[in-house]
Amino acid sequence: MLRHFLNPPNWFTSASLFCGMYAVILATGLNGAKDFHQAGVMILFAAVFDAMDGAVARVTKTASKFGIQLDSLCDAVSFGFAPAVLLYAWGLSSLGALGLAGAFFFALCGVFRLARFNTKADGTKSAYTEGVTITMAGATVAATVMAHVANGATSVRQPFAVLALAVVLGLLMVSGVPYRSHKSLRRGPLALVGMLNVGALLAISARVNFSTAFISVLGAYVASGPVEALIRRARRSPKIDLGAEAVEPARENPGA
């Protein structure tokens, strides 16, 4: 176990877990007043650390089966449980049992998505992921809450809209909708689209605020899977062979 504790990629995975845990504390107000915006920030930081652990594993050539399992367990907390708690505390608590069920549904779909990923992945690389990754779903929840708070809203007036968000993201995680990985977005015309998105993010950040810009980009990515699937179906294009999503070196993240 000491060898695993000293393995550099596991430091970043552990940092992601800490951010998810702290997000729960902030969302529930266990250390004082509830701070939904900061809770969202911590989930986004967890996503950054989650992306870095795979990069560190590649650079240091220290990828391991232990690290793969640790990554999935931490993802379940940071991008499944923490966003679910944030959803409930921020906008679903007023719905009572129905709101609790919605938050649980999001977390449950996230865990099921990870279980499917772990059982099907065989190390091969794919330009697509099957369903939206739990990291992207959790980050979308965080960015939505941050944008809501940053725009001056003090309470959620439409809790059923929050419930719909939880259900839709949950269904997309366990769906078979193909989502492009970052590897496919770096090639050809899609690379230009990616650069335009980054430019739009910076422009909106300068004129409005970072939270609004971030949810715009994440929302566009979440919608891109179903939209592209419908376009391919309308054109009667060949069905995408997802194969097995890559476990290493990318692990379970938006670029997996």
The CATH number of 2-234 is: 1.20.120.1760
Structural domain boundaries in the chain = 2-234
For residue 100, pLDDT beyond 90? yes
Token pair listed for 198: 């980054």
Two structure tokens written together for 102: 């919605």
> pLDDT grade, residue 124 (50/70/90)?
low
Cα–Cα dist 218/176, whole Å: 19
pLDDT at res. 235: 79
Phi, psi values for residue 13, rounded to 5°: -65, -40
Element (H, E) at 110: helix 97-120
**Residue 130 host element (H or E):** strand 128-130
Report whether pLDDT(244) > 60. Answer: no
Task: Please state whether beta strands 128-130 and 178-180 pair in parallel, antiparallel, or not at all (unpaired).
Answer: antiparallel
* Res. 13 pLDDT band, cuts 50 70 90: very high
Does residue 121 sit in helix, strand or coil?
coil
| The model's pTM | 0.83
pLDDT per position as a tens digit, 156-183: 889 999 999 999 999 999 998 888 876 6
Tell me: pLDDT of 32 over 50. Answer: yes
pLDDT at 250 over 50: no
pLDDT tier at 248, thresholds 50, 70, 90: very low
Please return the burial class of 138, using the count of CB atoms within 10 Å of its CB with bins 0-12, 13-18 and 19+.
buried
Q: What is the pLDDT of residue 45?
A: 93
Instruction: Give residue 252's pLDDT.
Output: 52
**CA-closest candidate to residue 209, choices 135, 166, 149:** 149
Angstrom distance (rounded) from CA 105 to CA 111: 10
Q: Pick the residue with more confidence: 17 or 201?
A: 17
Residue 66 has pLDDT above 90, yes or no: no
253 and 134 Cβ atoms separated by less than 8 Å:
no
Peptide bond into 249 cis (omega under 30): yes
Angle at 72 between CA 69 and CA 74, to 5 degrees: 110
Res. 125 pLDDT band, cuts 50 70 90: low
